Structure 1
Amino acid sequence: MTRSTHTVDQENMTATRTVAAPAARVFAVLADPTTHAAIDGTGWVREPVDRAPLTEVGQVFRMDMYNANHPDGDYQMANKVHVLDPPRAIGWLPGQEKGDGHLEFGGWLWRYDLAPLGPSETEVRLTYDWSAVPRSIREYIQFPPFGPEHLANSLRHLAELAATSPAPTPHG
């Protein structure tokens, strides 16, 4: 039986789901930018510009995005890995590259916490936190930009991908 819950606070929302896959496999799916569009499921996340697996804190991976409410429609996010603890936690700070190549982050973050429930089940908690978003950004972007069902849907997509993906190869 798959269990799923979600909560919304003033400055963050979380969703939790039991996934029928080992934690290492779930982590491998999350650390692969080529799976992020399928995990997201909204059509906002399009293609990875940087396709290398996420392997270290500070690593930046860019994603092509689309949102009808964005001034440009098509845009790019530069995400900086801020948590990487295989196979227990992974998270990133979404940002954008400015004209001079400098990265600027908006103050929101995505984080996945994984807890093995046995050899073939993992509890996954997804957190979207916007507590550090400055007032200047909140004046033109509403937070959260989606409802709690988005996180539950993302975890459902993650569960489907993890159940059908091959086992990760061990790193030496």
Structure 2
Amino acid sequence: MEHENMSAALTVGVPAATVFAVLADPTSHAAIDGTGWVRNAADQAPLAEVGQIFRMDMYHVNHPDGDYRTANKVIVLDPPHAIAWLTGVEKDDGRLEFGGWFWRYDLRPLGPSGTEVTLTYDWSAVPPAVRERIQFPPFGPDHLVNSLRHLADLVFAKSSA
């Protein structure tokens, strides 16, 4: 891949604030995930500030343990326009280590009841030692499209309830 990031966009027929609220709720991330790797939110508090850590229980068939947990650090929180987090792990001694990749959602309001959502996965800061163990990107662009479709389904369901 020429660039060290990839993005996908989708327009949803709900206000940006509704989309943002779903993205800021870690308990919704398993339903949004386009790979099926995200299982549960270990930390269920809404994402409310830059620097906040939230953990997700994961599963990947090629992970040495199968089941594992990520520790994610909020790096952008600009309601209802943008939210992003770095993904890493928490070591046995409690130290957090981030791998250099992040997820970012940018929301562009399109009137009172529409939002263009752009999802970006960026691995440009992944150090060589991590690249020796993990191939980047670890999934294709279809993962981003699937995630956006899942997000759209979820926000429609929540806004119709």
| TM-score over 0.5 for the pair | yes
Give the distance between the partners of 1:128 and 1:9, measured in 2 at CA.
Answer: 14
| Percent of pairs with identical residues | 73
Give the distance between the partners of 2:33 and 2:3, measured in 1 at CA.
Answer: 23
Per the alignment, in what secondary structure is the counterpart of residue 52 of structure 1? coil
Aligned to 1:60: 53
Residue identity matched to 1:90? I
Give the distance between the partners of 1:162 and 1:113, measured in 2 at CA.
Answer: 15
Structure 2 unaligned blocks of 5 or more: none
Aligned to 2:104: 111
Residue identity matched to 1:152? V
Structure 1 unaligned blocks of 5 or more: 1-7, 168-172
Give the distance between the partners of 1:15 and 1:41, measured in 2 at CA.
Answer: 12
Aligned to 1:157: 150
State which drifts further: 8-17 or 145-154.
8-17
How many residues get paired?
160
Aligned to 1:22: 15
Alignment root-mean-square deviation, CA:
1.1
Aligned to 1:3: none
Give the distance between the partners of 2:153 and 2:68, measured in 1 at CA.
Answer: 28
Written as runs of structure 1 = structure 2, the 5 A alignment for 1:114-153 is 114-153=107-146
State which drifts further: 155-164 or 106-115.
155-164
Aligned to 2:36: 43
Give the distance between the partners of 2:9 and 2:44, measured in 1 at CA.
Answer: 27
Per the alignment, in what secondary structure is the counterpart of residue 118 of structure 1? coil
Which stretches of structure 1, 4 residues or longer, exceed 4 Å deviation after superposition? none
Give the distance between the partners of 1:9 and 1:47, measured in 2 at CA.
Answer: 33
Give the distance between the partners of 2:16 and 2:155, measured in 1 at CA.
Answer: 9
Deviations, residues 129-153 of structure 1 (Å, cap 9, x unaligned): 0000000000010000000010001
Aligned to 2:72: 79
Residue identity matched to 2:137? P
Q: Report the TM-score, using the length of structure 1 for normalisation.
A: 0.91
Q: Report the TM-score, using the length of structure 2 for normalisation.
A: 0.97
Give the distance between the partners of 1:9 and 1:89, measured in 2 at CA.
Answer: 25
Per the alignment, in what secondary structure is the counterpart of residue 28 of structure 1? helix
